Amino acid sequence: MEVWRYTLPFGDTLRSGRYERIPRGAVPLCVMVQRAEIVVYMLLNPTAEKVGRRFAVVATGWHRESMGDWAYIGSVETRAPDRAWHVFDLGEE
């Protein structure tokens, strides 16, 4: 098992990223800001089959009727733009 880092895109309100190369079964550990980018750390088996994985990065105040199967990972603050962001795992594809 290893811990890998993935950069997540973010913008005004909602951004979802898709990573084709995340090994199946990877477990999100935490989210943080590094060098002005939002990153998620994942515990994974690097030899596992690579699958698509999606995340949502939403700003405070963002509205959605249902979160479905979204799994909360964590929240971070950024300075540019000056906001709090909340990161959710949308699962494997």
- Whether residue 23 is preceded by a cis peptide bond, meaning omega within 30 degrees of 0, is no
- Which of left, alpha, beta for 65 (phi over 0: left; psi -120 to 50: alpha)? alpha
Helices and strands in the chain: count of H runs, count of E runs: 0, 7
Nearest to 88 by CA among 66, 79, 23, 80: 66
Confidence of residue 14 (pLDDT cuts 50, 70, 90): low
Output the pLDDT for position 17: 64
Output the pLDDT for position 5: 95
pLDDT at 65 over 80: no
pTM: 0.86
Higher per-residue pLDDT: 84 or 82: 84
pLDDT, mean of residues 50-72: 85
